[in-house]
Chains A and B, each alone.
Chain A
Amino acid sequence: MSRPMVRILVDRFFGALIAVSVMLAAVPVLVLLLFVVIKGLPGLLTPGFFTDPPFPQGVPGGGVFNAIIGTLVIVGIGSLLAVPIGSLIGIFLSEYGRNQLGDAVRFISDVLTGLPSIAFGIFGYTVVVLTTHHFSAISASIALAVLMLPVILRATESALVLVPQSLREAGLALGAPRWRVTLEIVVPAALGGIVTGGLLAMARAAGETAPLLFTAFGNDIVQTNPFQPMGALALTVFRNALVPYTNLQDQAWAAALLLVMLVATTNILARVYVRRIQR
């Protein structure tokens, strides 16, 4: 075989290899989603899944009402803490953060992003559970809020930085003080990015399990008091999977499907919102 021929063959082979690896990367996603939908859908359609609390082990039936409420309460309170603080830090970074303090904040935020999620659980455990002497939803919310902070503040900063400098100058030239320019001109112009950051952070928080193990702990009783232990969908998936009762395992699949749907909806909402704003 001539040398050019070999080179062309090698080129083709390389191209094929690349195509195969892309398939290898995409297949797990599809298989995974397929299984979650197929195995989760029957459980999701079972009457009582959304409205009943879990029944004792071995008793057929029961639902995940406790976990749905728990996830909403825990992530809701977490977002109430993280979104305002996170976007304020983002404003600081973009408007006042071109200095060493800003760099330090960015560094801390990067370090927090890279921490394993279980570390946030330990944080919530030490700071809230050890001081109040019992597990609670609020300790989970605080742990998740810290986990959400870096996502929100980075999204806010990059959205604000993209706002043209001329808009700020125009506002200042009209005699508006800087804080009004920031809050009434710059922030609204960047709202798309900020909202997206918040939604993505919420989606991530809703799917976390490890931080909840030492904080919310789980609760089979429907609990709305944030100072008490509380269930969550992710905890239901984790605990029910490891139990030798098929009806509970089916519930784990259904809760997993519900969780995936929740996370996917939040993600898609974020994307749609960005597109609408950008238009």
Chain B
Amino acid sequence: MSQGTAGRVAPKLVATSRQRPLISGDRLFRAIAYGAAALIMLIAAVFIVALFIPALPAITKFGLGFFVSRTWDPVRVQFGALPAIYGTLVTSAIALLIAFPVGMGAALFLAEDARLRLLRGPLSFAIELLAGIPSVVIGLWAFFILTPLMRDNVDPFLKQTLGFLPFFQGSASGYGFLTAGVVLAIMVLPIMIALSRDVIRAVPLALREASLALGATDAETIWSVVLPYARVGITGAVLLSLGRALGETIAVTMVIGNRPEISASLFSNGYTLPSVIANEFTEAVGNVYLGALFYLGLVLVVITIVVNVLARLLVWRFTGSEPTAA
């Protein structure tokens, strides 16, 4: 009797331990995967703290007045973000003004135009190549090739033809808002094109066919059917490009002239948020000076996060999937 019970119990014990060992491989693996997920949350939390800590001396000294002060005077240890914010906005605006029409045209060509189908592959490749070129290389090219070109040809031409506008007055050194804007335009083109192309491709074919069947030309179809339908997604693409333009550092630092100035003239030297940091980090002495640089960094990060989140929401709503290039 007792032996029988033991005989019945023993296999059951073995079976239980085989089904649920102390640490199963599955549980361990799951724990590791969840651990990795927790790690990136931890990194994000540390990231936020890491952006605040070195900026603290400047935050406590200047507070919110930092945003409205035009002074950037390392000698008297007085710092304000206004010139850098101004430069960031102006250069990004120039970049979008140039890149938007060109990028839209190129995206329409890649998504819609059937005539030169053979060219599409190489063109897509060229644009992806541009996306992969390190920004310091673009900066080098801009510094040695584009700046003299702007100084000797483009700027004088603009002065002659549009010189009555305040934007195109004053002496042109080649380094300044306009050159930086052109460089940024080149740098954001790949994202602008890739994202708009995907958005335009996502417009249902039936809409196009309906429009063409009603007798509309290709241009009319694009203008009054495709583009209105894709408007939200294109706005997202533009915002993502803006996010990229706002934060671009090295190439801009090499061509903007690096002077804390607020001037209506686009020929004038200027500064952007990231270029101040990159340019003055090595020479910054003292906690407040360094802190002011990192305060600028904090401002930059907050602005880009807002722009990016907004952009992603728009693109996401539209295509129902994540932006492919970013």
Contact = CB atoms under 8 A, between A and B. Distances in A.
Size class of the B contact interface (CB-based, 8 Å): 35 or more
Given A21-B104, A21-B109, A267-B132, A35 B145 contact: yes
A35 to B, nearest CB: 6
Given A114-B243, A118-B278, A91 B50 contact: no
A113 interface: yes
B106 A10 contact: no
Contacts of B222: 14
Contacts of A122: 50-51, 54, 277, 294, 297
Given A146-B43, A241-B254, A182 B29 contact: yes
Contact of B46 (A102, A127, A130, A238): A127
A179 B218 contact: no
The DSSP consensus for interface residues of chain A is helix
B155 interface: no
26 contacts: A7-B217, A11-B217, A19-B109, A20-B105, A24-B105, A24-B106, A25-B102, A25-B105, A36-B137, A91-B36, A92-B37, A93-B37, A95-B33, A96-B30, A110-B309, A118-B278, A119-B301, A126-B51, A179-B28, A203-B132, A207-B133, A207-B135, A207-B137, A213-B282, A234-B134, A238-B136
B224 to A, nearest CB: 12
Interface in A1-41: 7-8, 10-11, 13-15, 17-22, 24-26, 28-30, 32-33, 35-36, 39
A8 B217 contact: yes
Given A116-B248, A263-B134, A179 B25 contact: yes
B103 interface: yes
Contact of A29 (B24, B51, B130): B130
Contacts of B28: 179
A85 B250 CA distance: 29
B304 interface: yes
Interface string B23-62: 0111011101110110111011011011101100000000
Nearest to A180: B25
Interface stretch (B5-13, B70-78, B121-129): B121-129
Contacts of B312: 110, 114
A260 B134 contact: yes
B157 interface: no
A53 B223 CA distance: 58
A15 B44 contact: no
Interface string A94-122: 01110001101100111111111111001
Interface string B310-326: 01100000000010001
Interface of A: 7-8, 10-11, 13-15, 17-22, 24-26, 28-30, 32-33, 35-36, 39, 85, 88-89, 91-93, 95-97, 101-102, 104-105, 108-119, 122-123, 125-127, 130, 146, 149, 153-154, 177-180, 182-183, 203-204, 206-210, 213-214, 234, 237-238, 241-242, 249, 252-253, 256, 259-260, 263-264, 267
Contact of B106 (A21, A39, A111, A253): A21
A18 B136 contact: no
Contacts of B254: 238, 241-242
A25 B106 contact: yes
A36 B141 contact: yes
Given A10-B217, A108-B44, A96 B34 contact: yes
A92 B277 contact: no
A270 to B, nearest CB: 10
Given A11-B217, A252-B140, 9 more contacts: A21-B104, A22-B109, A29-B127, A32-B137, A89-B37, A111-B308, A146-B43, A179-B26, A183-B29
Contact of B218 (A11, A92, A260): A11
A122 B144 CA distance: 29
Contact of B134 (A22, A104, A209): A209
B41 A113 contact: no
B294 A118 contact: no
B54 A130 contact: yes
A126 B32 CA distance: 28
B172 interface: no
Contacts of B116: 19
Nearest to B254: A241
B157 to A, nearest CB: 17
Contact of B274 (A18, A101, A116, A130): A116
A111 to B, nearest CB: 6
Interface string B205-227: 00000000000011110110000
Contacts of B41: 104-105, 108
Contacts of A206: 134
Nearest to A97: B37
B33 A15 contact: no
Given A18-B113, A104-B41, A92 B326 contact: no
Interface string B103-118: 1111011101101100
A29 B129 contact: yes
